[in-house]
Every structure is written in C-alpha cells, then in structure tokens.
Structure 1
Amino acid sequence: MNAPTLGYDERLPLYQRLREEMLAKIAAGEWMPGSPIPTEAELTKLYGVAIGTVRKAVDTLVNEGLLLRSQGRGTFVRRPNFDASLARFFRQVNASGGREIPASRILSKRLQKPSDTVATALKLGHGEQVVHMERLRMIEGRTLFHEEIWLPAMRFAVLLEVDSESFGELLYPFYEQQCGQCIASATETLTVGAADSAMAKTLSIEEGAPVVVIERTALGYDRAPLEYRLSRAAAEGFRYQIDIS
C-alpha cells in the first residue's frame, strides 16, 4: 500500500505539512481527545518520512498544547481543563473550605439570530443562527456565575432537543458526547462592569455593584470558533495571582 500523500502548500517544510495532516485527523475525530496517537515508528511508516520529520511535527503540536507526551505510555491528544481558568480567579469552595466544581443549572436554551458581536466572534455567515443558552454555576445553592453561551446552530442544534436536566456540570465533554464537537483551545478577556437590577438579583448583590465579566471564545482543533461565552460573577470574590521569577 502506498503511503498517503501529504497535501497542503508544498512550499511548507515537510514537518509542517505532516503537522497539518495530523491536526486534520484530530479535527475530524479520527484521533480523539485523551486517546494515544500512532507511535513515531508507525507514523514514519505510514507517511514515508524520516523519523526526524515525525518528531519535529509531534514536537510542534506538543508545544502548541494539542498533544501531550506521557513517559512510558506514548503521546496523547490533549484534553484541556478549561474550568481551571475560573479557579485562577475565583475561590470555588464549599462551606467546609474544600474546592469543588460548581453545580450547573440550565435556565434556557433557544435558537436565535446572533448579534453582530456574536456573529463576529463565531465567524458566522449571513443568515446563520445560533443556539443561545443561559445557565447558573452554583456552590451549595449560592450562585457563583451567570453565563450566556452562544454556539453555531449548524453544529449544535441537537442540544435543543436534549433535556436541560441531562446537561452535565462540564459542558465541553457534553458537546463532544452529544454533538461530536471537541474544544481544543480558548482565549479569555476579563473586564469589570456594574450589575444591573436583573444581574444584581441573580448574583445576590446590590444594583450597581462591580461584576467581573469573563469573555471567552473557544476553538476546535481546526481553529474554527465553536463557542462564545460571557461569564459574570460578583467582583468581591475575584482574586488575581501570578508567580514572577
């Protein structure tokens, strides 16, 4: 059997073309998050390239955070822990002081036309719709975050048919399970605003009190935007920490 031909721009170095081929397999779901990829020897044989080319392509994807090497076990498609980003900025603790993942409650989900901001963030074409969801993140009944989430309807419309009680505490594994859409990376921007009357009631704070707004755009392994999210929380629970060396 002949080795697959590496496509893409032939002006690119061979390792970059191999990187694109490997990334395409991840994006297509052939190599799933948490699963091992073929060994270097298998990739060398499959694509008919030198082992140095394979290693450089793999190194590039490891450095980009898309693959993870595990000593003695192999190389795996990395599954990012996005909820850890919230833990950097807010104390997610229960009454006994233990850390925990906030419980979730879906308030609403519907199909709608996106705003210009959402359409731009998700790179939607004219006339494309989104699935819009609202949910609360809570610890022991206390609301920690209010979230608005927008998803391209062409990829996530099936979520409209899923009972809200069936959604898990973490949405990204749920997207993967229900829609076959895997989140690979995200960018976040933090700003501070003031709570209007509705948000003040939701977060149990005074109207006009400061709220931290976390704006997130999440991308698939093919770099296509899959989710735009706004998370709001009372600023009194906000903390910022960075280690400088």
Structure 2
Amino acid sequence: MQDLPPTPLYRQIADLVTRDIAAGRLLEGERLPPERAMAATHGIAVGTLRKALQELVDQGLIERRQGSGNYVRGVRSVGGLYGFFRLETPSGPGLPGAQLISVDRLEKPSDAPDFGAAPDAHRIRRLRLLDDGPAAVEEIWLDAGRAPGFGADRIGPSLYRSYLTEFGLRILRVEDRVGIGRLPGWGAALGLAAGASVGHVHRLSWAQDGTPVEYSRTWFDPDKVSYVNRLK
C-alpha cells in the first residue's frame, strides 16, 4: 500500500472548510469566526490560516470584507474536491486522507452503468482515512479516454482535485445509491474480515460537459463512520 503525498497543512484546513460548506454546516452569507480564533481551534499559526483562506477566496468559496471578516459565498459551486465526500465520524467530518492500494487499466466491469466512450477504464483502489483512521475502501473506475497518461504518480489525496489539475476534468454531479454490501477480499486494510457486512455506496459521476465519466463502489465500516447527506 502506498501513502499518497501529504497535503500541505494550509490546504488541509481549506479542505475542511470546503467540506463544511458542502455539507451545509456553513451556509451562504455566514460569517466565519475571527481568524485568530479559527487558527487557535485548528492549532495552527495565523499565517497558515490566512493562506488557507486565500485558497478559498481564489476558489470563490468565501469573500473577505475589509473590516468585517470572511463570509461564505460559494455554496452553489462548491462541487468537486471534498464536496461529494459524504462519510463522517460521530464527532464530525474528520480530516480526510487516503492510501493507494493499486492502479490498473482494465476492461470496464460488465455490471457497471454506462460511463464514458472508451471500452476500458483506470481502476483505482484506495483506503480512505478520517483523522488518520481507516474509514472505507473504494474502487473507482475512470473512463480511460478522459485521462490519458493516468497513473499512480498523478494521484493526490483528493482524487477530484487530481482530475481537475491533471486532466481539466471537473466532477459537477454525482448520484449515490446507498445500501448494505459484503467487504471484498482485497479490502482487508479496512480492518474487517472479507465478506463482512458493511455499508456500501454505488456512485455514478458526471463531468462539466454533462457526460458520465466515473463509476465507483465504496465499502465503509458503519461502526466508525456514517454516510451523511444534508439537504438545504
């Protein structure tokens, strides 16, 4: 198993705020806490926090108002990155991470829905982490025609960020079907026996041009995390 490159601290904080916006914990127009208070909450320097906030400004997710503070503004465009990551710990969203298990180029699975025009796809298997603890294993199939030259060296902790920066591919919409499944044999990194009954998510994802480009399956430990979707 391969640890993916560590995410810089400022980007980890930016991603946490992005997740809060996507999940509805931060609403459009809401004022963020004062910068010094936010820095203290996360145990980081104010300069690191300001770098994180600038990243969010650059993404159009917050705006800075001189003399007033920082306000949420990009609820409708949050998408991608961690915007579609729906697993949370009982105490809150948790800091997401990932370890790479394998990357292969294979014929698309026969039981998958239609996605992309190529007959084959890049299959990515990963262990997903929350607060450094195992939370889920996932198998992602990305249409090979949309990601030429795809490989392990082009995958970062946020797969959707990698799609965007490496291939100009932005995931704007997903459809999830949640149920119960059996943990596959390759999913031992989750810490459960093969065949154990776990939470299971089928996902189909659409790119910015309106076409489905990715199909994934996620198996998660319901004793450690829950699938959360907030409507607003």
**1:233 and 2:220 matched:** yes
* 1:37-95, Cα deviation, whole Å (9 max, x unpaired): xxxxxxxxxxxxxxxxxxxxxxxxxxxxxx99x8x9xx9882415635544x5317xxx
Q: CA deviation at 1:147?
A: 0.9
Taking the aligned partners of 2:132 and 2:230, their CA distance within structure 1 comes to 33
Aligned length: 166
Is residue 2:175 matched to residue 1:187? Answer: yes
Give the corresponding residue for 2:25. Answer: none
Task: Label 1:225 to 1:242 Cα distance change in 2 as closer, same or farther (>3 A).
Answer: closer
Displacement of 1:140 after TM fit? Answer: 5.4
Is the CA contact 1:183–1:218 (under 8 Å) kept in the aligned structure 2? yes
Structure 2: gaps spanning 5 or more residues: 1-59, 66-72
| 2:89 alignment counterpart | 91
Larger radius of gyration: 1
Matches of 2:229 and 2:214, distance apart in 1 = 27
Normalised by the size of structure 1, how large is the TM-score? Answer: 0.55
1:136 is aligned to 2:127: yes
| Residues 207, 133 of structure 1: alpha-carbon distance in 2 compared, 3 angstrom cutoff | closer
Q: Which has the higher contact order (CA 8 A, sep 6+)?
A: 2
2:80 touches 2:161 (CA, 8 Å); kept in 1? Answer: no
The match for 1:106 among 100, 103, 106 is: 100
Map of 1:203 onto structure 2: 190
The 5-angstrom pairing of residues 214-225 of structure 1 reads: 214-225=201-212
Give 3-state SS (helix, strand or coil) of 1:158's partner.
Answer: coil
TM-score relative to the length of structure 2: 0.58
Higher share in helix: 1
Task: After TM superposition, give the deviation of residue 243 of structure 1 in Å.
Answer: 8.0
Indicate the SS of the match to 1:175. Answer: helix
Q: Which runs of 5+ in 1 are unaligned?
A: 1-66
Equivalent AA in structure 2 for residue 222 of structure 1:
D
- Deviation at residue 99 of structure 1 after TM alignment: 4.5
Q: Post-superposition shift, 1:149?
A: 0.6
Q: Per-residue deviation at 1:217?
A: 0.8
1:113–1:168: structure 2 CA closer, same or farther, 3 Å change rule?
Answer: same
The alignment partner of 1:121 has SS state of coil
Overall identity of the aligned pairs, in %: 20
| Structure with the higher fraction of residues in strand conformation | 2
- What RMSD in Å do the two structures reach over aligned CA positions? 3.7
Q: Is 2:207–2:213's contact at 8 Å kept on the other side of the alignment?
A: yes
